[in-house]
Structure 1
Amino acid sequence: MQNVTVRRGRGRPKLVEENDRRNSIVVAAHQVLVEYGFAAATTERVAARAKVSKRGIYELFANKQELFAAVIREHRHLMLDLPRPEEENIPLVDALGKIFRLEIDEKGEREREAILNLIVRESAQFPELSDYLYDNGILRSREDLMEWLAIQARKGLVVIEDETVCAGMLMDIAFGALLPRRRLKTAPDRAARLIHIRKRFEIFLRGVSPNL
């Protein structure tokens, strides 16, 4: 019987190593971007934080813009939990609470606040970053929310004249409150904020209710 050498697994350790290196770089880039901002977040700083060479970064990311996009992609789940399960059957105000992840734990809340601040700050200073994120489908928050609203409208649960406007209103309601001008240091403050966001959602839903 002829011996057969199976070569399929030879590249796997290298692939695992590359994925680990990529993850380390993205984690380090996130820390550096939050701390220094896009302009001062040099590849030297990212490389030092990730304990890799600059060459190791450029083997995986073409430029700093691509690295920024990878950080946003890794954390975009903190912004919106969409799409929702097809079988979900809960009050719309509860669905919006889940979509905007109002019950996220404190650690996740801090991470969300940091990534939202990063996106808002850097998009204002470098509009090309925002264009890159949208053009490459990395940020689809508004579009995903528009699709969810369209589904609710088809179900007859809401009457939506302009999905773009309504999605923008909901994002302003939630993200405007989730990015306070001062840091909320106590649990009661954070709990009060969630109550206020939920009340705003209720006001919005009364405005689009087909029963009014």
Structure 2
Amino acid sequence: MSMESERDAGAGAKPRGRPKAMADDVRRASILDAAMTTFIEKGFAKATMSDIARTAGMSKRDLYQQFEDKRQLFLDTIVSRSHLILDLPRPDDENVPLTEVLRRIFRLDLDERLAAERRALVTLVNRESLLAPELNALIYDSGAIRSRELLVEWIEREISGGRVPRVDSGRLAGMMLDVVDGVQLPKRHRKGPVDTAFQAEEILTRLSILFAGIAAGQD
């Protein structure tokens, strides 16, 4: 092939590499991963944008092009992982036993890696909410984590469908979250690795007892 032919062929070739939008998504995910690591290690108050940029392998200037400040980055980090806490709302056409729905709602089907990431997220949110009350307001007022509200909506839909007895949806949502937190975040410090499978079955057993008690009280 002549040099002219090679140039003509090259001119019509598509540029290699990922689209810019894909590259931006990957870059953002990398920043959020770095932020999660930094916030867990140092806490919100001590973590700096410089720390996060260093962990992400970029300049602080590039980081500020993506996120305007540390508060926004913290919030976006929580939002990016909120799906690990609850899988709500549920599909309208879901037709499986209640126990299986609860397993899906509370993400009791996560593998060990994602389950560990969820524990880190919950620990981070609980810790920082206590240490920095303004973060607690930021997290919940922004809707980053709406566990109770989403559960209330699901309970009311199930009541309308006749699968859950008519009860105070707010109280039931609170009790369900207490059950889950009681197993996943016990007051006593754990020794050794967490048995995720055991935790999942223990949560489902306790929730089943809760719903059985509600049903019995309606008789």
TM-score (norm 2): 0.83
Aligned-partner Cα distance in 1 for 2:207–2:179: 8
TM-score (norm 1): 0.86
Q: Secondary structure at the match of 2:45?
A: coil
Shift of 1:130: 1.9
**Residues 160 and 166 in structure 1, CA contact (< 8 A), matched pair in contact too:** no
Aligned length: 201
User: In the alignment, does 2:176 pair up with 1:170?
Assistant: yes
Shift of 1:142: 1.1
Shift of 1:102: 1.4
Shift of 1:43: 0.7
Q: Give CA deviations for 1:119-146 in whole Å, capped at 9, x if unaligned.
A: 1000111121121122222111111111
User: In the alignment, does 2:99 pair up with 1:93?
Assistant: yes
Shift of 1:184: 6.2
Structure in which a larger fraction of residues adopt helix: 2
User: In the alignment, does 2:34 pair up with 1:28?
Assistant: yes
Aligned-partner Cα distance in 2 for 1:95–1:104: 14
1:58-207 residue pairs with structure 2 within 5 A? 58-180=64-186, 181-183=188-190, 185=192, 189-207=195-213
**Residues 158 and 164 in structure 2, CA contact (< 8 A), matched pair in contact too:** yes
**Residues 157 and 209 in structure 1, CA contact (< 8 A), matched pair in contact too:** no
- 2:11 alignment counterpart: none
Aligned-partner Cα distance in 2 for 1:123–1:116: 11
Structural RMSD (CA): 2.2
**Residues 115 and 196 in structure 2, CA contact (< 8 A), matched pair in contact too:** no
Shift of 1:40: 1.3
- 1:6 alignment counterpart: none
Aligned-partner Cα distance in 2 for 1:192–1:137: 31
Gaps of 5+ in 2: 1-14
Gaps of 5+ in 1: 1-8
Q: Secondary structure at the match of 1:103?
A: coil
Which stretches of structure 1, 4 residues or more, deviate above 6 A after TM superposition?
A: none
Q: Give CA deviations for 1:155-212 in whole Å, capped at 9, x if unaligned.
A: 112234321211111111112211234346457x443332321121011101332753
